[in-house]
């Protein structure tokens, strides 16, 4: 056998392998998306209950901002239908802490930066894969200048912190890496 025919046969083998490879994985039961979510095909719906604000300090927009952001994340980054209750994936919980504390102190022992921290308890239920269920606490924060009042900083800080929380909640629920 000459070099040309060996080259031709090896090229054909590579093409056949490349065409056959997708067929080997066709039966896999987990689908991956660009968002990093791995959701079993039998899961079709998600329900996200309103997260009441049970913290001592209450920001009026926080409960709806968190709930809406989590629903929006599932709408935009998964194929799941959001239903009011009894979804294949279910989220419920509450905002347990909302605090502003000094984050950085100057030489005169004065706060120059403050930190807003939001803590949320989440109970996640996966009706088809109970091994992924969890009851966890998530916490995120953002710093702001102490020259600003918390009420002035909240419209910027709350969406930023909620984005961090939603990212972590979403990943823990559907990115089973």
- CATH class held by domain 44-174: alpha beta
**d(Cα 7, Cα 97) in Å, to the nearest integer?**
67
| Pure H helices in the chain | 3-24, 62-77, 150-174
Domain spans of the chain?
44-174
* Chain segment 99-131, per-residue pLDDT in tens: 999 888 776 777 789 999 999 999 999 999 999
**d(Cα 18, Cα 20) in Å, to the nearest integer?**
6
Quote the pLDDT of residue 157: 97
Q: Half-sphere exposure of 153 toward its Cβ, with a 13 Å CA cutoff?
A: 20
Three-state secondary structure of 111-142: EEEEEEEEEEEEEEEECCCHHHCEEEEEEEEE
* Chain segment 6-22, per-residue pLDDT in tens: 554 555 554 544 444 44
Quote the pLDDT of residue 176: 66
Inform me whether the pLDDT recorded for 164 exceeds 60: yes
Inform me whether the pLDDT recorded for 32 exceeds 80: no
Which range is least confidently modeled, 34-38, 44-48, 88-92, 107-111?
34-38
> At a CB cut-off of 8 Å and minimum separation 6, what does 25 contact?
none
**d(Cα 156, Cα 87) in Å, to the nearest integer?**
32
Quote the pLDDT of residue 56: 92
SS3 call for 39 = strand
Q: Are residues 92 and 136 in contact, defined by beta-carbon separation less than 8 angstroms?
A: no
């Amino acid at each position: 056998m000459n070099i040309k025919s060996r080259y031709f046969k090896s090229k054909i083998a590579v093409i056949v392998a490349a065409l056959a490879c997708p067929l080997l994985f066709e039966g896999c039961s987990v689908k991956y998306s660009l968002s990093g979510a791995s959701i079993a095909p039998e899961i079709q719906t998600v329900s996200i209950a309103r997260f009441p604000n049970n913290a001592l300090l209450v920001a009026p927009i926080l409960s709806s901002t968190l709930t809406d952001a989590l629903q929006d994340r599932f709408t935009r980054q998964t194929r799941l239908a959001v239903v009011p209750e009894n979804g294949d994936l279910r989220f419920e919980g509450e905002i347990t802490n909302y605090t502003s504390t000094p984050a950085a102190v100057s030489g005169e022992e004065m706060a120059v930066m403050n930190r807003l921290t939001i803590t949320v308890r989440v109970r996640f239920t996966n009706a088809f894969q109970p091994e992924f269920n969890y009851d966890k606490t998530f916490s995120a924060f953002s710093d702001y200048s102490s020259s600003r009042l918390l009420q002035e900083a909240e419209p910027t800080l709350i969406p930023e912190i909620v984005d961090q929380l939603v990212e972590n909640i979403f990943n823990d629920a559907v990115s089973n890496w």
